[in-house]
Amino acid sequence: MSDPMRIRASAQGDKVTVRVLVSHEMESGQRRGADGKIVPAWFIQTIKGEHNGKLVFSAQWGPSVSKNPFTQFTFKGGKAGDKVKVTWEDNKGDTRSDEAAIS
């Protein structure tokens, strides 16, 4: 399993901004390794954000997204102290979920 995501969520009025730094190698399947063989594709396919169990963000990614990608999204209705959960799944079936409190 990969390292935890770095999640920062901050509220300004009724708008919440969530910034996420995801730890993932994100191999495209087009690069050759030191042995000359193609490194197999390994990338995040879906990422989603939830606030109090409600889906507020969803994206589909592909092999062209960089290593350790950064993403940001906003939503309305959150307040300081609420939890935001971010989950991703990659093309090998691995998943990771992390959460943070809104400040």
Whether the model clears a pTM of 0.95, i.e. scores above it, the answer is no
With respect to residue 84, please indicate whether it lies within any of the assigned structural domains: yes
Q: Which residue has the tokens 């901004």?
A: 17
With respect to residue 86, please indicate whether it lies within any of the assigned structural domains: yes
With respect to residue 32, please indicate whether it lies within any of the assigned structural domains: yes
Q: Above 60 in pLDDT, residue 6? A: yes
pLDDT digits (tens, 9 = 90+) for 56-90: 999 999 999 999 999 999 999 999 999 999 999 99
With respect to residue 74, please indicate whether it lies within any of the assigned structural domains: yes
With respect to residue 59, please indicate whether it lies within any of the assigned structural domains: yes
With respect to residue 1, please indicate whether it lies within any of the assigned structural domains: no
How do beta strands 95-101 and 83-90 pair?
Answer: antiparallel
101 forms beta bridges with: 83
